[in-house]
Amino acid sequence: MTMSCDDAGTSGAQRLEIFTGAGKRRNWLPEVKVSIVAESFSGQESVSAVARRYAMCPSQLFTWRRELRKQMEAQGLALPVTSSAAPLFVPAVVEPAVPSDAGPVDKRPRRRRRSSPGAVELEIDGVAVRIARGADKGLIAAVIQALKATR
């Protein structure tokens, strides 16, 4: 009886893979580990952003944070709760349209077109462009740039 794995180790390598990047186990110094965890609790950036900066998986940093929380709870301490600030909004300023000094322009009344589902209509300075579903995004960007340039 012959099995497919009988020649394992006797034949030459048929495929060789080289892994680069993250994947090796790193030993973090306790001081560095504490500073990374403290930075993740600062609230300046998301935990994922901090992990990305140190080339580590966000799940690793979340694990470190959970371990710290458990250690502090075992000692009867609690992490300070950061109050989430209310979201900030940019004030909207609406200015009335300034009538042009030019005389009345003879414009034909436009009929409203019904757009098909999935279509987008842009109107810039009286020029209407309808973009149907599946349009090439490079072509759309070129049309919008051309419309902006004619203003």
Q: Mind listing the pLDDT tens digit for each residue in 69-100?
A: 899 899 988 876 665 666 677 777 778 877 66
pTM for this model (two decimals):
0.41
H/E segment holding residue 34: helix 30-41
Q: Is 90 exceeded by the pLDDT of residue 115?
A: no
> Residue 40: left (phi > 0), alpha (psi -120 to 50), or beta?
alpha
Token pair, residue 74, equals 């075992």
Confidence band for 150, pLDDT divided at 50, 70 and 90: low
Burial class from Cβ neighbours inside 10 Å (0-12, 13-18, 19+) for residue 52 reads: middle
Query: Distance (Å, rounded) from C-alpha 14 to C-alpha 117?
Result: 53
6/34 Cα distance (integer angstroms): 51
Beta carbons within 8 Å of 79's beta carbon, 6+ residues apart: 41, 68, 69, 72
Per-residue confidence (pLDDT) for residue 70, from 0 to 100? 92
R_g (Cα) of the chain, nearest Å:
31
Above 90 in pLDDT, residue 59? yes
Element (H, E) at 58: helix 58-74
Report the alpha-carbon distance of residue 31 to residue 145 in Å, rounded.
52
> Computed from CA positions of residues 47, 52, 54, 55, in that sequence, does the dihedral angle turn out positive or negative?
positive
